[in-house]
Structure 1
Amino acid sequence: MKRLSALFVTLLTAAGLHAGEVQVAVAANFTAPMQQIAADFARDTGHKAVLSFGATGKFYAQIVNGAPFEVFLAADDTTPARLEKEGHAVPGSRFTYAVGKLVLWSAKADFVDAKGDVLKGGNFNKVSIANPKTAPYGAAAVETLKKLNLLDAVQPKFVQGENISQTLQFVHTGNADLGFVALSQVFKDGKLNGGSAWIVPGEFHEPIYQDAAILAKGKDNAAATALLAYLKGDKARAVIRSFGYDLR
């Protein structure tokens, strides 16, 4: 029994010695699922993922200016591809970890109809939208309004968030009656977490392919490699799907 206990302690010590830490830049729309995945990742591998959340465009600027991030989970596929082309991401490490969905959401029940016709009526004070220059979901919202021929009518009512988290906060606090946010922010386990919503049809905007990549600073970090492998596994994919994302 003592020998078995000693062996168990030795195995735990060895696992601890090999456990690492990885600095991860995460698109704001993926906050809730990534927090859950990071907790599972730590329990299952011993590695710790240190998470920072924000707008994809702002992360790009920070990464090219030397920020210590080792893995990037973007809200698009173009930014990681650009980073790879410019030598800031490890070639061949990119893959699509989620396909995002845009939703028009209000904290008020029955305020947003199932077809989004509330936008045509104009009976709202403000609509929040993420900065389309730095946030892919903001760009998708602008595309949607153009598709509906409503951009000119709705644009004067914009309240612009720095990222998709701030955009959602504007709706929560009543600074906007409704907002274009990520479905994952208001959806869990197959149901809406209160309020009312219109899930924007995918044909109204370019697909929101969200790519992950190991950054140059993480090329020799085993924890970075382990995290991307974990994101491709069934357990992480189940979490991603539970927040309303599609998978490729």
Structure 2
Amino acid sequence: MIPNFIFDEFLELLTEGELKILLAIYRKTVGFDKTSDKIPYSQLVKSTGLSKSTISKGIKGLVNKKLVKVDRSGNTNRYTYCLPKVNMSSSSKPEPMVVQNSNQQLVRNSNTQKKVPKETEKNTTNSSTGFSDEVWKVINYWNEIFSDTLDPSNAVLIRHIERSISQFSVNQIKEAIFRRSNCSYYKRKKPELLNKPNAFFPYPETIRNDLNRNTDMIFDYDEKNERVYNRKNKDEDFEIIRDMRDKLGRPLWKLKNAS
């Protein structure tokens, strides 16, 4: 999920330290569906293996290159990654801009058996709707899977979604939705409940059960490779399931022709 412009425009310009720091910041932000995050120096030291002085120098370099924005107003620095604002009329390199929160559809990440540690930092509330980014991600994902059956104007349902986010990570909820949509249990026994958000979000036990539903559609990295090794499938038979990750942070996969 590293943007192409990092490789195409800036890779040769970055020092080894700057690149390590930038990747660490992307892991803590993009890797958890965030645009920014508070990251202590100790975490940067641990994840990059660099000294504090090298990290300080590298951060200055990234700020100067407009690849990262740093908010030093709190006890711990908050880092925001930047994306390029492309000027189609100009032949010069794109000028990176700070990512803005939006209510656009966003997805990524998850785990089935173990509860994914919840992010302690909540994204900001979208001023145009009053919903947090987490709520919008869940709404958008549900409506992507079940064809717009969740009405964002339903205030009671929105409160249920907010409560579910307080008990599960957004990524867990997304995986529960995905597994719900592909398991045989609902298709055979409860088809009338399959795409009903009121039969899902108000009930933590239902979310927990759906998170553990068996489906033939999902394979982790090792399972995919095992099927390829045993010649049951080829690599090109699989595609990444958007917004799903295993406990090691690797993409989950599904067969392209699976129904």
Question: Taking structure 2 as the reference length, what is the TM-score of the superposition?
Answer: 0.27
Question: Taking structure 1 as the reference length, what is the TM-score of the superposition?
Answer: 0.28
User: Whose strand proportion is higher, 1 or 2?
Assistant: 1
